[in-house]
Amino acid sequence: MEAILNESYGKVRLDTKEGIVYVYFLGKLSTDDYKNVWNTLFQVALEKNIRKVFIDQSKIEKASMEARAWVVAKWFPRAKKNLPDNIYIGVLSSASFFAKIGGEYIANAVSNMSKFTIKFFPSEDDGTNWLKSLSL
């Protein structure tokens, strides 16, 4: 597993063997830190032609609605324009009620505007097994 981003607020790791990017949001994230994690994911997916992503939001405590809206309004249109349509994303939701709602808001908006496939899982292992089962 190659560490691409390793900060107190988030981690991005690449499993080159399986072609899966793992994204971890941690704690209370400033808007800039939240954007940095998403932008790091974008760069890795673009440079390595990644189509499988696992996003772990289970340890996120807070990210502003401004930051979440930025993902939908700015980040996602850029991803949609530059990445392939067949992106598969497994998500482990946050235990925090409000963070969970925010994550589901982003997932629903992205699903409605693209052909990205997003599924929620109760554990990282379940999400990883699903991503590994996909033959692309």
pLDDT in tens, 31-47: 999 999 999 999 999 99
pLDDT in tens, 76-126: 889 889 998 889 999 987 565 555 565 565 666 666 556 788 888 889 999
Strands (E), 20-116: 20-28, 52-62, 88-92
Question: What is the span of the domain harbouring residue 98?
Answer: 2-133
CATH number at residue 114: 3.40.50.10600
Q: What domain count does the chain have?
A: 1
Q: Are 1 and 15 in contact (CB under 8 A)?
A: yes
Residue 51 or residue 106, greater confidence: 51
